[in-house]
Structure 1
């Protein structure tokens, strides 16, 4: 049977966070500013102060498997006087502390979706520890329990819950060593699949079971002129010229060059280009070049990952892992 909305819900503003992972209700007169997909700022009058900060986070934690551990997770300072309440698989706690002559009220709601999915919403409100501020804050503090009591969590896993699982799996994945073409040593998660092209000149590394996410690895060699003068053989100068050549017709941002050792380099950037089938669409990719300069040649390994997800967080999770993997890779010839 579908639950009826309460009078509070009917008359107030409804805010859905992270694709309906959680739903919140606020008094109609509140001014609500969405800072990002995880964070809200709520003012209870036309004044911008005080502001109630609200943050939601989804995470996966198989070790948070009993009430005692959950209690410790919610309150990491045993000296704080707090109240913990449980309603089914939702835990509530709140407490006040004084920091630098300001009071801070913290409310936390933790939703547990078995077997290992969690969502936590944190509410934070600060004000000067004075009688004048108390007159403004007290009415807000009286409203907060009702706002918190009407928070609703999705009974099913949302896309952001799935991304929390992805984050956990990427962070805890077992890595295996691959020596591609006996040229580049790369440690990637065991479940990722490396597939070489028929001509063996490049490889696709599939990062999920459905092959929705993959990155391309390709190798290149640039032969050097043995008769060149010393300035032309300078590794830094050679790499500088190489970078100018490979980026001259590419729209790039966030470019960075790192040098490791005498002749090892890592250059990366975001490349943007118009979609071939839709001129209004821009495709973004992150490209890395692992470069090593030898006496007679330059060895170049390129990595290309297209940011295909419509959800920024999903792209960021894979990018973070790739930054680690490529950053620790090594040209082995």
Structure 2
């Protein structure tokens, strides 16, 4: 009887693959060499190959937070590593893991099915588990960094797999060690620690309004409320191309906030670190008159000024041109710099 493990299959290679269905903006784009990554071994194999050939490369997950050019030269790794499981449990928390290619919303749904609440405020955020720590995704008062225990990744610099603790991930507002070091770490698995003691997080305005007569909602009720709110505010990428929130909420010194608040009493903002205040980018853009406006094939969503949309046949150049107009107008009127949230490949 042969007890040796069979060698993992080679990653599937598809030349000149159309990526129109793999980016939520729906831009016409193609990958010169697309590799389907379904196991960590595929990552090391492909990266070793592309580095030896000195090819450019990048990883593409759900395509929900990227702006794609018409052609991606070299290698594009399509992150499709699946699977999630409960690893361990103690009196205080539960450890769970998920593959880098797992759909984020489906993962949140699964945690609730396992009676592991905590991620419900992050429901319906598009993308994959592997992309979540890179952007440190967040919504309605919750950031994913609160629940990350560690990540497993392939380090392209050392060409070896490594594990990074939560602290080593250096998670900040829509930022991380991975985002600041592009084309180095490829996240293959994320380990989450879910506390057993749960408390509803409904202090954000939209949720507070939703539960004004129900101050103690269940995790499932919050999950459904978040889905309802996001569905109203954000267009379905299957119907109109978009990448969700296009700009980060800017963080300004408290002195600047107070000056703006004196001039604009309706200014929408949120608490942040000591001496700072987070402004609602959507409100700033709305005040500049952009909501619902159109510039050729692209525009601003009619229900949410923070969302830029592709009305059809738009390109990365079109959307970035519109973004620049918005940035300049907001800066001229408020003296505030808006940073683009999606990654520009």
TM range (shorter): under 0.3
| TM-score relative to the length of structure 2 | 0.25
Higher helix fraction (1 or 2): 2
Flag the structure with more relative contact order, 1 or 2, with Cα contacts below 8 A and sequence separation at least 6. Answer: 2
Larger Rg: 1
Q: Structure 1 or 2: larger strand share? A: 1
TM-score, normalising length from structure 1?
A: 0.25
